[in-house]
Structure 1
Amino acid sequence: MRIVLINPFYPISETPSPPLGLAFLAAALERAGNEVKILDCVVFPFSQDVLATLMREFKPHLAGATAVTMTVDHALDVLDRVKALDPSVTTMIGGPHATFRAAEILKSCNQVDVVACGEGEETIVAMVRALENGVPWKQVPGIAFREGRQLKMTALPPLADLNELAPPARHLIALGRYRALGMPVSMTTSRGCPFKCIFCVGRKMVGATVRYRDPVRVVDEMQGLSTLGFHQINLADDLFTANRRHCLAVCDEILERGLKVNWTSFARVDTVSRQTLERMRRAGCTTVSFGVESGSPEMLRRIKKGITLDQVVQAVQLCLDCGLDPHTSFILGLPGETPETLAQTLAFGERLKAMGVNHGFHILAPFPGTDVRERIDDYDLSILSDDWRQYHANRAIIRTAGVAPETMDAIVIDGERQFDRWLADIGRRRETGEATDVAVWPLVRLEHTVVIYDLMMKGLVEKKGFWRAGASDTADARGVERLIRRVSGELDHPQTRIRAAIEFAVDNRYLERNNAKGLICWSWKDYL
């Protein structure tokens, strides 16, 4: 059968990585003998014409979309368009939001035929077989669907052995576009989280028991990714350091192979030691991210975080001692938040900053499935919006009894302004010649990313990047000058910035020139 998998729009400001979950689903489907395409609305411009062409040429039997809360509206819109173009196509949606709002989606969204709940690899293969063979849907594990006027759900335990999964089908993803944008590529070494934080759906989504991949398979995948030119690999495990033996085994496998690769991971402050961090650094880890959440001991107790501030200080100092870059994040507006607890959090953030540790503030987003949302009456929280597009955690959509949303917004906005001032200072020092190339690079790379993203999402290389070769093209060996001229009128960026970004993309072979039958054609190197 033919299946199209949909990655809905997600803003570039959120640093998206190639859709790993869809790559796992596609791999499972291909291994079962199906034909799969991925419609990626993150790095390609989406339109009705684009979808209509795909539907006409590919003729899918099943269209499946993934969605987090912030992207669910776009996912549902695309599925609605699919149904309008071909009502015979079975439509499916999965991901965290759909898993915990399955009944709501089926009641209110006629364009959705079935919801995949939890891990999707086994489910989507079983769904395709059911469609192919006329099997009743109640025999498909891990779905919610309509049966007459009733909603039905089937159970699916978490996959016991992750080594049974087919390697992610990244050949179906335009990895080259993510690479050109400076985004990282992600992979996992485990699934599951044993902790009970009230603001997170991880434990409910992938289970409390952590399941681990064979370290040899993990490093095989890392080795393959290391050849693709990404600046870093993000280990997207909920908690890479949950099991010390597994963590060290992965590091030792990297070291034994002599593999040189930069990677990052998530950790809890109570699961790291000097030995673990030193081994991680030697194996290529550059950054460890810790969720601290609050600088108030009382708040940490309320949210069932299970850590102390002393453990935070000890963990980040160990990272610094071992040559790792620790990042810490905080969540404002958790249950019981008061002006006093906010002040404690801000003060603790300043303490970490004085140690040389980066930190950032987000605001609680009460995602479906989280304890704070499902038991809202037990907490002093008010949810101000169910506009899912606002669930990006950068502006307040909640209030507590003691803290207004404007207060939390002001803290996050101040952090954004500090970042803007940092960039402006780099720009000033660039103009005066005070800054080194290394110091200037974060600003330069950001400028390149903004221009390249604009080129991609306006489809300008596809629209303007081909012409009949002439004498001027012979003089311009790379053909860059004419490309710059042709796209510049469509971009609202300084000419120098457009030129720098395009030359950067050409020099790094993110953009490629092909000559055929007297035509010069420029294109993004999409597939690696």
Structure 2
Amino acid sequence: MLAYARPGDTVHISEMFRLVRGNQHILDVLDVLHRDRLALRIHDGAFSAMHLTARHPRTDELLSTVKFMVQTLAAAGELQRELTYDGLRAAEAKGNKGGRRPAVTAAKTDGVRTAYLEKAQCLDRVFMCPNGIGASSSSPVLADGCLVYEYSACKCSWSVRTGVLLNRPFRPPASGDEMTLKVLLANAPNPTDNRNASNYACYPHIGIIQLATATREALGDRVEIRVVDGGISNTETVQRAVRAFAPDVVGVSALTPTYSEALKVAETAKTCGAKVVLGDDHAIFFPEMILRNRPQIDYVIANDGGEIPFVELIRALIDNTSMSEVSSLAYRHEGQVHLNPAPKYALSLRNTIPDLSFIEDVIDVYADNYRTQFGHLHGHQVRPVTVNNARGCENGYKRCTYCSIADLTVNTGDPRGFWKTIDQYNREHGINLFFEVYDSFTASPRYVDALIDATPPHLKRRIDDGELQVMVYARALGLTKRNNVDKLRRLGVTRANIGLDAADPEMLEAQRKNKTTGETNLEAIRMLNKAGISVHASYIAGAPGERPETLDRTIAGIRQMLSEVELSSVEFSRFIPLPNSPAWDLLVDYERPNFFKSTAEIDDYLAALGITVTREGREEMFARFGDQDLLDIDELGAFWADNFTHISEKYALERIGEVDEMVSAHNVRTGNNVG
């Protein structure tokens, strides 16, 4: 319902707890209403007399009185629901069915639905009332899909029960048979020799499955959807799938390293007559540039939460309506590139569980790949999958120098949804290893506590017995606080992936690690070892200002780690500057930085590292990389080493090779992007 509403609309609900559950959920919804400029009217209950959207004129925060009343009344609502559930269970025990009796008969509901679909007596929309069916083209209209509104033909008026009061007319479906759109969703393969890459091949790309599920749930039989994960195949395989399926729309998910392969898939799709939609991080970085440079791309979704915009786009294509109403969409119109506003979507309002039946035929491929690489870490057979019920990082306000994640704002979903996903995947698909790809699991202590409190008893027993396991990303500094390691253990975490990055204090500072030290890293891993949680550690060679002696200290730190703690795997990679990162400010966005405060701050940062870039050098950098949507990763790496470090790329790669040999000698798995 909230996804359908537009700025200026009014959300009508009978009483607050028809829309939300609990204190935090109420606050999340109020933030969404404020962000999307929606009014709220509550018709009944304790909240009906309150102006819940009132905010402080200077800080734009909810008034403290509103927060206090929300917390108080939410607690009362929880008690009310508990009493209601007790009453329902008592009624059920006596053979009675609890709940409110329908205000409208099933026959009348069917009549309204039939009239609407056949457009009988309908101009803009059919409404329901106890006396019959009516409609008015001059009246404001209501959200699509709701059959609980009343319209009185005899009184020529209507009243709202629950829903969204829109300030625009609803467009009915086109006459005749509804078309079915064939949609293929693909994850662009890794371009490195076009082989399987271990960072993709062990876990499904849950994002495209989420898109497929949300689209099917919203549009039903109006779409036929197929999902192809390039992470476990290659570009030619994806291209063959496109030709065989002959889709009307091809959606491709692309990161900066995989964008070149995404363009190849897009070219194939265009030759088959399909519309091509690009999404994911790289699309978010360069939406307008991509449309100017790449005729094979028709649309770009520039939002980290792409489900709602994608559904809106597919609906617009089916109904042949304007693209100007599709949120977060970049598109061409009359020779111009347009970019629609991109709202932020709260994960707490999303309840769609990605349907793994879209990839049922290849789930075992991921399991086999994982067992080949990491089966020795488990005492039983595992079937892994990724889940994404939360996003963001506690270091988001000052992100790491290399970090190019589109949005690091902490955005957590419903804790009950996390456990519902685990329960469903285990029962229906035998999944028993869940990789929560939350950018940093320690970013929201309140969310972690809520997950513990929401753990269903039957799943808790299986976690304690080792039958269900969880993997997470975490920051070392966060792990040493708030008893977080013990909390991870209670949640069934058996493996943590930590970006240690360096053991040299100068390089940790250069990578903006926010007070993290080599001692902090070592302490965190000792705590994880003690809790029985294995550790995947990652390091980077070639950070800004890297020198031979700083690299020596990092390698010495890795050697110390191997001798004092247990690591399941070690990844040592070269530094690659990517768009939407502080490193990109240094390389390209010097004049208009996104993560440094000013060019002066950049100059001071580089000067402290002994790096000087001339005006001519700046001009060369921008000419080579500044107006390009297709970037050569190898060229970027070499150019970075030559201009922003005191070592060569060749030297960095040689030292990485030394570390790989040292790690392997300790029977620890190594390589780029493992896990």
State the TM-score, normalized to the length of structure 2: 0.57
- Out of 380-389 and 156-165, give the one that drifted further: 380-389
SS at match of 2:483: helix
Letter in 1 for 2:232: V
> Which residue of structure 1 lines up, in the alignment, with residue 556 of structure 2?
347
Matched, 1:259 2:462: yes
- Give the drift of 1:62: 1.6
SS at match of 2:352: coil
How does 1:203-352 map onto structure 2 within 5 Å?
Answer: 205-208=406-409, 210-227=410-427, 228-230=429-431, 232-254=433-455, 256-257=457-458, 258-260=461-463, 261-272=468-479, 273=481, 275-309=483-517, 310-352=519-561
- Give the drift of 1:368: 1.8
- Give the drift of 1:207: 4.3
How does 1:18-29 map onto structure 2 within 5 Å?
Answer: 18-29=204-215
How does 1:122-201 map onto structure 2 within 5 Å?
Answer: 122-173=308-359, 174-182=362-370, 184-194=384-394, 195=396, 196-201=399-404
Q: 1:360 aligns with which of 566, 571, 574?
A: 571
> Which residue of structure 2 lines up, in the alignment, with residue 413 of structure 1?
657
C-alpha RMSD of matched pairs (Å): 2.9
Structure 2 CA distance for partners of 1:94 and 1:256, relative to 1, 3 Å = same
SS at match of 1:197: coil
- Give the drift of 1:267: 0.9
Q: 1:375 aligns with which of 573, 578, 586?
A: 586
- Give the drift of 1:43: 3.1
- Give the drift of 1:263: 1.4
Question: Which segments of 5 or more consecutive residues in structure 1 lack a partner in the other structure?
Answer: 427-441, 444-528
Structure 2 CA distance for partners of 1:188 and 1:130, relative to 1, 3 Å = same
SS at match of 1:52: helix
Provide the rounded CA distance (Å) in 2 between the counterparts of 1:96 and 1:355.
38
SS at match of 1:12: coil
Give yes or no for contact 1:142–1:156 (8 Å, CA) kept in 2. yes
Structure 2 CA distance for partners of 1:330 and 1:13, relative to 1, 3 Å = same
> Which residue of structure 2 lines up, in the alignment, with residue 101 of structure 1?
286
> Which residue of structure 2 lines up, in the alignment, with residue 9 of structure 1?
189
Structure 2 CA distance for partners of 1:418 and 1:300, relative to 1, 3 Å = closer
Structure 2 CA distance for partners of 1:276 and 1:50, relative to 1, 3 Å = closer
Provide the rounded CA distance (Å) in 1 between the counterparts of 2:408 and 2:535.
27
Structure 2 CA distance for partners of 1:75 and 1:287, relative to 1, 3 Å = same
Provide the rounded CA distance (Å) in 1 between the counterparts of 2:508 and 2:578.
19
- State the identity %: 23
Provide the rounded CA distance (Å) in 2 between the counterparts of 1:420 and 1:12.
21
Post-superposition CA distance 1:322-353 (Å, at most 9, x none) = 22223321112111212222122112222222
Matched, 1:398 2:586: no
Provide the rounded CA distance (Å) in 2 between the counterparts of 1:408 and 1:44.
30
Post-superposition CA distance 1:226-275 (Å, at most 9, x none) = 34345622110001111223213324544733233111111112222473
- Give the drift of 1:102: 2.2
SS at match of 1:289: strand
- Out of 354-363 and 41-50, give the one that drifted further: 41-50
Structure 2 CA distance for partners of 1:306 and 1:357, relative to 1, 3 Å = farther
How does 1:483-498 map onto structure 2 within 5 Å?
Answer: none
Post-superposition CA distance 1:392-434 (Å, at most 9, x none) = 99x76630341110111012222334466567xx9xxxxxxxx
- Give the drift of 1:224: 2.6
Provide the rounded CA distance (Å) in 2 between the counterparts of 1:53 and 1:335.
47
Structure 2 CA distance for partners of 1:104 and 1:418, relative to 1, 3 Å = farther
- Give the drift of 1:151: 2.4
Provide the rounded CA distance (Å) in 2 between the counterparts of 1:351 and 1:219.
38
Provide the rounded CA distance (Å) in 1 between the counterparts of 2:483 and 2:563.
25
Post-superposition CA distance 1:356-391 (Å, at most 9, x none) = 243331111212221211431545499899975646
SS at match of 1:206: coil
Structure 2 CA distance for partners of 1:40 and 1:243, relative to 1, 3 Å = closer
SS at match of 2:207: helix
> Which residue of structure 1 lines up, in the alignment, with residue 374 of structure 2?
none
Matched, 1:61 2:61: no
Letter in 1 for 2:196: I
Provide the rounded CA distance (Å) in 1 between the counterparts of 2:309 and 2:324.
12
- Give the drift of 1:44: 4.6
Query: Who wins on radius of gyration, i.e. which is larger?
Result: 2
Post-superposition CA distance 1:464-518 (Å, at most 9, x none) = xxxxxxxxxxxxxxxxxxxxxxxxxxxxxxxxxxxxxxxxxxxxxxxxxxxxxxx
Structure 2 CA distance for partners of 1:355 and 1:229, relative to 1, 3 Å = farther
Provide the rounded CA distance (Å) in 1 between the counterparts of 2:432 and 2:634.
29
SS at match of 1:112: coil
Which has the bigger relative contact order, CA under 8 A and spacing at least 6?
A: 1
Post-superposition CA distance 1:61-114 (Å, at most 9, x none) = 32110011221111111111111121xx22111111121122332222110011
SS at match of 1:223: helix
Question: Which segments of 5 or more consecutive residues in structure 2 lack a partner in the other structure?
Answer: 1-180, 372-383, 591-601, 671-675
Structure 2 CA distance for partners of 1:158 and 1:305, relative to 1, 3 Å = same
Provide the rounded CA distance (Å) in 1 between the counterparts of 2:438 and 2:314.
28
Provide the rounded CA distance (Å) in 1 between the counterparts of 2:489 and 2:329.
42
> Which residue of structure 1 lines up, in the alignment, with residue 228 of structure 2?
39
Give yes or no for contact 1:193–1:206 (8 Å, CA) kept in 2. no
Give yes or no for contact 1:396–1:408 (8 Å, CA) kept in 2. no
How does 1:459-470 map onto structure 2 within 5 Å?
Answer: none
Give yes or no for contact 2:562–2:663 (8 Å, CA) kept in 1. no
Provide the rounded CA distance (Å) in 2 between the counterparts of 1:213 and 1:161.
4
- Give the drift of 1:185: 1.3
Provide the rounded CA distance (Å) in 1 between the counterparts of 2:228 and 2:271.
17
Provide the rounded CA distance (Å) in 2 between the counterparts of 1:39 and 1:189.
22
SS at match of 1:406: helix
Post-superposition CA distance 1:414-467 (Å, at most 9, x none) = 2334466567xx9xxxxxxxxxxxxxxx99xxxxxxxxxxxxxxxxxxxxxxxx
Give yes or no for contact 1:70–1:392 (8 Å, CA) kept in 2. no
Give yes or no for contact 2:255–2:280 (8 Å, CA) kept in 1. yes
Q: 2:242 aligns with which of 51, 59, 67?
A: 51
State the TM-score, normalized to the length of structure 1: 0.72
Structure 2 CA distance for partners of 1:141 and 1:391, relative to 1, 3 Å = farther
SS at match of 2:507: helix
Provide the rounded CA distance (Å) in 2 between the counterparts of 1:280 and 1:207.
21
SS at match of 2:457: helix
